Chains A and B, each alone.
Chain A
Amino acid sequence: MKTFEDICKEIKGKKILVANRGIAARRISRTIRELLNATPVMTVTDVDKTAPFTAGAKELVLLGQNPRAYLDIDRIIEFAKKQGIAAIHPGWGFASEDSSFPDKCEKAGILFIGPTTDGMELLGNKVKVRDLARSLDIPVVPGSIGAVDVETARQVAIDMGLPVMLKAEGGGGGRGIYEVHDLEQLESAFSKASALAHASFGNPRLFVEKLLTSVRHIEIQTVADRYGNVFAFDERDCTVQRNHQKLVEITPSPWPKMTEELRTRLKDYSKKLVKAVGYYSLATVEFLVDDDLNVYLIEVNTRLQVEHGITESRYGIDLVEEQIAIAFGAELRFNEENTRPIAHAIQVRINCEDPRHGFTPNSGLITRYLSPGGPGIRVDSCISGGHEFPPYYDSAAALLIAYGREWNKTLATMERALNEYVIGGLKTTIPFHLRIIKNRIFRSGDYNTRFVSVTPELMYYKDLDPEALRLSRLTAEISARGFNPFVQLGEYRGLSDKRMPEFAPVLPSLPKTSADIIYPRKDRKALLDYVRDSGRIHFTDTTPRDITQSNSGNRFRLAEDIIVGPYLDRCGFFSIENGGGAHFHVALMANMTYPFNEARIWDQIAPTTLKQILVRSTNLLGYKPQPKNLMQLTGEMICEHHDIVRCFDFLNHVENMAPLAEVVMAAKGNVFEPAISLSWAKGFDVPHYMNVVDEIVAMIARISGLSVKKAQKDFILGLKDMAGVCPPRFISSLVAAIREKYPELVIHYHRHFTDGLFTPAVGAAAKAGAHIVDTAIGSSVRWYGQGEVLSTAAYIEEEMGLKTALNKDMIRTCNFVLKQIMPYYDRYTAPYFQGIDHDVISHGMPGGATSSSQEGAMKQGYIRLLPYMLRFLAGTRQIVRYHDVTPGSQITWNTAFLAVTGAFKRGGEDEVAHLLWVMESVAGVPDNRLSDDLKKERLILYKESNDAFRNLLLGKFGKMPLGFPPDWVYESTFGPDYRKHMAQRTEDSPLIALEKIDIQSETESLTAQIERTPTREELALYLNHPGDALKTIIFRHNFGNPNRLPLDVWFEGLTVGREMNFCDTDGKPHKMSIIDIGPVDPQGVSNVRYHLDDETFNHPVQVAEPVRGGVGGTEMADKSNPCHVASPSTGDLWVMYVKPGDTVVKGEELFNITIMKQEKAVISPMDGIVERVLKTADYKHDKHMTPVREGELLIVLGPIPKRCGKCHSPIKDESFKFCPACGAGL
């Protein structure tokens, strides 16, 4: 009996071959080197020759090209003999359970590290071991007695009841198992299973087992020596599986029902089996245990297993070392006294598979590799950074084990290590394992083998690269183009354009003390009382929303809000308008910001001041009218971070505002501000608007259950002059009338700058009794938003003699900061047309739309018709009466545009002039003063209208403020059957008939599209703007939070050499600099190489369309030219038989193309000489095919100039004097 020390002396320096690859080979090589001091040798096929795992071997056995060579036992033994190998370790998989291996080794005089052939056959054969177990009174999974034919299988299945499993007699490791759930499947499953078994294990025989459904997989590792000594280790629990493949292995079992008794029982069974056949080496006995603690033997594995490492970690031992020693004849060292468990251990299998897409395997370059470490971690991997992971073998990249004295600590260590583990370039199971580790049911230990299949949320994870890396790719995308394609401003700039200075604003320090002027927050009554009793004028700042919406295309980013916000917070404003309107949508569409998250951040950076949002009555923030349940959801989210909710309706159809009013009025900390849309024209006078006010107050009273007197104290009335058309005297009289009838009602006045009369109008309103006015910080004021705060305040104080309370110093400071930001937005986002337009009082185009509408006309080539369009607007406003705010302003504009361009298309400018003459003759003129001719003529006015206009006339947006327009408008719009349409008119709110939205199914749809559980905000965004929400979610997934990039880089990208410093969302600093922006290749791709922190990356950017072949890239054959030989179809050229200078005869094969598995030979149309060969291929030799297109020119032939008189060989060159074939003179 030899001892371990004897063995070490014996095998010192000897060569031990690991007939395996990857993880197994490296793991075993390590032990060979350690105490045993032997020489590790590895088999490698060509593809594995330089793989990272070969580092463990001192010598290699080169197996050649065929990836399957690891299975060729005879050849391996042949090489082993030649290289003087003393022993072979088969590892796991491959030939490790081929029972002929031990005998073959023995015949060759090489020691096999494992059991004998008999041992393998007796215990490793899945049918024989069941017999053996039965004879030893060890319970087995119910099933057939032995291998069966398909008929018997059917009978067994019927007797036992379905479901059953068909298993390969020669199989193992979870492979070769077919589940059969209904009898019809059995026959086809049987033949498939048999074929697969024959192919995989060389043995087609199958047996049948009952498929037990609520079981745990628990196995016992045993080790035995040649002398009858056997030791059984504590159980390994491998219950977390998928398709019978183990994913996670744990020792000891975390199952709450695991007992010492069960453990002992399993160990006893295992030892019995091993002893009964005199087996030695390692063996693992696998069992299934059901909920009642019934035990069933599945099989025995007669080899080292993938999960052996957790047993080693639990006991602090080396199983491979023992296995080798035993093979050489050592006595088993382990016994109950000297081998005790000391730790918990868990292993996860890190595979190169994508769990979210059916565990699809992937192969390719590993671009980054950072393995975890630290206490309690063991890594067995076969990869490294820069390694090309091959597709030919299994997907196992690494085995990660965590161990520790307590289970909770071990789990925490595993979670920490998984978070540290970086494998870049391939999809791996790392994030999936993180989901498992964190899963509540997993942690409870109380689950069965179906755990993975019944827990779909394991698949819902964000498989994200670190944010800095994603942001670096975004920067590369912008830099390669010179402009930002995501911001949706077109190609506003190119790579070589002049740049703005680096964005580095000087930020004055903020005072440590809190603001002086504080308005009550979260208390509606206190706030409104405060405003009413203050005796002064209050200001709302619109810089972050309406100003930048109107003047900077809504592109003002959250990043810049964060800079300016803290200053705005201390200015003493009643509220900051920071959300809603079109800003909401564009934040999603072009700034890739989540607007609700933006609101939350605003409350962090500017915690003191009230926040205000603008919403549309029927649509709220979305693209179409919202049913009640969606309005509830969106409304509640709005109220979380916006104190003042201003709501408008372009028809002033008060009923449309009611549903939202209900939501906001119910939130006691919020204030509802219904706003009246104002125009100034005949019919839209003070009495008219007073009716609207009455309706509003009545609605509020009804909703809140208060009297009118009390109700007026409970909200703010907004007055919204979106185009800036109402002159000072008008607003003055309106406000005065409101104050007289409702003295306690707080009035909030909002006006645009467009007509140039902002300041006097706001002053007049304040003088007449308006409490709050909207203004903006000076350096952001342009043409289309509000006016400037300090000048307005000065006018109000000095000209109107009223009081204000603003922190003017802070306003100045804020202005200084903003002044440094605005130039970037002016450069890239300013509207095309600018300037004051006093004519707005007649055409009425609201501030925000003025430039974009006119720009649209210009881009379509209609700039010369613009004056006519404006005149049309002026006229139609007198016929179809509503207010020019969203969507009314769009409808009006489109109507004018379509009418004028339609006239132009019909009859040129003359026709347009005629159209306008009709309009101006008719607008505002009563019917009895119109001639019959004119009455007929006027029908052309609305002929070209679109659906939105039609819907408006039918009342589908709501009740028109001055009632329906005259009948002739309908005749003009709808044509001869207009009366039918008129009969369908309604004055009901469009919200009444809306179907509830199925939020559950929308959630499911979104979940499916983004492949993870959406956040509450993501769902709300999706319900409001599905297309753009998805776009932003995907953008954020790919590129991170774009607000982290500095403003100039956001618009211009980086140039080579300049370093950008930025912080990720966790606040960690990073630096990036571009090394090179490559030229655009024929595929339209420019490669950007850059440094990010200490690593170098390459990111390809698709900057242009690929150059298309065919017309342009490839040369096409001239069909009429008999010397041109073309490709007969599109396919792959795999052999070109000729080269230039060859002579060919008619009918000879020139080349061959494979098209969908057919080979097409192309033969020469004539005798001749090959002049040009445009493409070539030789698949047999270099395994490359060249793609070709139908009609592509491949060969150009030429006539044979002359032939030798003597031997008739063709003479290729006219200038030859002698025949090159026979030498005769020519």
Chain B
Amino acid sequence: MMDNHSVTKKTKGQSLSHKSIPPAFLSSWTTLTLSNDQETHTVRKLDNPHTDHVLFHVDTCLSTMNLAWSLFETDHFPLWSSVLSDHQYQGRGQFNRLWISEPGNLYVTVRLPDLTKGQATAPLMTALAVNQALGRLGIDSEFKWPNDILVHRKKIGGILVEQRTGTVMAGIGVNLASAPSMSAMRDTSPLSPGFLGEWGFSLSPFDLWLTILDELLSLFAQLSDGMEWSVFITALEKAMAFKDEKIVFIPPQGPEFSAVLTGLSPEGGICLQTVDGEKTFLSGSILPVVH
């Protein structure tokens, strides 16, 4: 459901401290108050010393995706704006699944340009950006098609791209300080949840986000400069989890089946080697095989 927010108040703030916002960002900021029947948000618009793009922060919200749409609807969210939240009540994953969002992790939604160069642009570019950003920070990650970020084969992050009439929002969640408990394994989730802290990586959500944003900007710039799409596909394929391994594929229609994952297709679909030959799917999900 879309939120029909209205902005009721704007105030300018002075320096203060906030537990999750780095001091560098707190030199000057404004607050907006958005409200509708359901909720009221006090949204901090931060002056981002690293980039010109608008950066919002809230302590909590239903989900950064919803908030981003609200900010967009009230004309506060130009291209490349992003909103971070320390916590989400109803963090949203794919297909309205709940993304458990305890404080300490990165929850952010960013508005991306809608380059309709093959519709797979946004989700894959975002995944590649996250993978490369983590790489820059010394973390080896894998990309589990279509939306998951893995480290040591544990799911530490996810991406959701939502589109409404030409406007594209990418939501990114990365577990830094904690992950949902093992009881999440009791349902059909095929991978254990993990968080970067368990391997000794200590990162703040803001630092991670700025690195990712940097990568995103760089990738999109290369794309609009005329870089071949296939270059991005190749880069993403290198980071692909389960490549050349036997997996179970769940197609959008029909029963799941065994296959070997061979790579990415030019449109960003997944290439599988099945008994009926090479097949490409544009949607579906992957499960690893259990030994």
Contact = CB atoms under 8 A, between A and B. Distances in A.
Interface stretch (B83-91, B186-194, B217-225): B186-194
Interface in A317-357: 352, 354, 357
A1163 B147 CA distance: 24
B287 A1157 contact: no
Nearest to A199: B153
A1148 B275 contact: no
Contact of B122 (A65, A364, A1154, A1158): A1158
Given A361-B260, A362-B257, A391-B258, A66 B186 contact: yes
A394 interface: yes
Contacts of A72: 185
B252 interface: yes
Nearest to A360: B273
Interface in A50-102: 64-68, 70-72, 93-94
Interface stretch (B8-16, B25-33, B94-102): B94-102
Contacts of B287: 67, 392
A1148 B1 CA distance: 6
Contacts of A1044: none
A394 B260 CA distance: 13
A66 B162 contact: no
A1160 B97 CA distance: 16
A1131 B269 CA distance: 13
Contacts of B277: 357
A199 B194 CA distance: 11
B52 to A, nearest CB: 26
B273 A357 contact: yes
A1146 to B, nearest CB: 10
Nearest to A393: B290
A1156 interface: yes
Given A1157-B161, A1157-B268, A363 B258 contact: yes
A141 interface: no
A1158 B162 contact: yes
Contacts of B168: 1158
B185 A66 contact: yes
A432 B56 CA distance: 62
B283 A1132 contact: yes
B239 to A, nearest CB: 10
Contact of A195 (B153, B267, B282, B289): B153
A392 B289 CA distance: 5
A195 B245 CA distance: 14
A1087 B258 CA distance: 26
B234 interface: no
Nearest to B152: A198
A646 interface: no
A1148 B4 CA distance: 10
Contacts of B203: none
A189 to B, nearest CB: 13
Contacts of B189: 66
A1159 B162 contact: yes
A538 to B, nearest CB: 57
Given A199-B152, A1156-B283, A1163 B164 contact: yes
A1191 to B, nearest CB: 15
Nearest to B4: A1147
Contacts of A198: 152-153
Contacts of A1148: 1-2
B198 to A, nearest CB: 11
Interface residues of B, number: 58
A1144 to B, nearest CB: 11
A1161 B260 contact: no
B120 A1156 contact: yes
Interface in B147-181: 147, 151-154, 160-165, 168
Contact of B95 (A93, A1134, A1147): A1134
User: Of B95, B152, B253, which is in contact with the most chain A CB atoms at under 10 Å from its CB?
Assistant: B95
Interface in B234-291: 246, 248-250, 252-253, 255-260, 267-269, 273-275, 277, 282-283, 287, 289-291
Contacts of B153: 195-196, 198-200
B123 interface: yes
User: Of B250, B275, B282, which is in contact with the most chain A CB atoms at under 10 Å from its CB?
Assistant: B275
A225 to B, nearest CB: 30
Contacts, number: 159
Given A1155-B119, A1180-B95, A358 B4 contact: no
A1129 B119 contact: yes
B152 A195 contact: yes
B215 interface: no
Nearest to B269: A1156
Contacts of B96: 1135, 1180
A361 B259 contact: yes
Contacts of B120: 1156-1158
A366 to B, nearest CB: 13
Contacts of B123: 1156-1158
A218 to B, nearest CB: 24
A1185 B97 contact: no
Contact of B253 (A1149, A1163, A1184): A1184
B197 to A, nearest CB: 16
B152 A204 contact: yes
A1160 B246 CA distance: 31
Contacts of A199: 152-154
B258 A362 contact: yes
A191 B140 contact: yes
A1179 interface: yes
B140 A1160 contact: no
Interface in A1124-1168: 1128-1129, 1131-1132, 1134-1135, 1147-1149, 1154-1161, 1163
B2 A1147 contact: yes
Contacts of A354: 275
Nearest to B1: A1149
A393 B291 CA distance: 6
Given A200-B291, A1160-B162, A66 B187 contact: yes
B291 A1160 contact: no
A416 interface: no
A1156 B275 contact: no
Contact of A1159 (B160, B165, B291): B160
B2 to A, nearest CB: 6
A362 B275 contact: yes
A1088 to B, nearest CB: 21
Contact of B275 (A196, A427, A1131): A427
Interface string A228-272: 000000000000000000000000000000000000000000000
Interface string A1164-1195: 00000000000000011001110100000000
B2 A391 contact: no
Given A1157-B268, A1158-B123, A394 B289 contact: yes
A104 interface: no
Contacts of B289: 361, 391-394
A94 B289 CA distance: 11
A1091 interface: no
A198 B156 CA distance: 15
Given A361-B246, A1157-B123, A1132 B275 contact: no
Given A64-B186, A360-B274, A1180 B97 contact: yes
A136 to B, nearest CB: 31
Contacts of A392: 248, 287, 289-290
Contact of A93 (B188, B246, B291): B291
Contacts of A65: 187-188
Contact of A391 (B122, B256, B268): B256
Contacts of B252: 1132, 1185, 1187
22 contacts: A66-B190, A67-B190, A67-B290, A70-B290, A195-B152, A198-B152, A352-B258, A357-B273, A358-B273, A361-B260, A361-B275, A363-B257, A364-B255, A364-B257, A392-B290, A1132-B252, A1148-B1, A1155-B119, A1157-B283, A1161-B163, A1163-B164, A1183-B250
Of all A-B residue pairs in the complex, the 3 with the closest CB atoms, nearest first, are: A199-B153, A361-B258, A391-B258
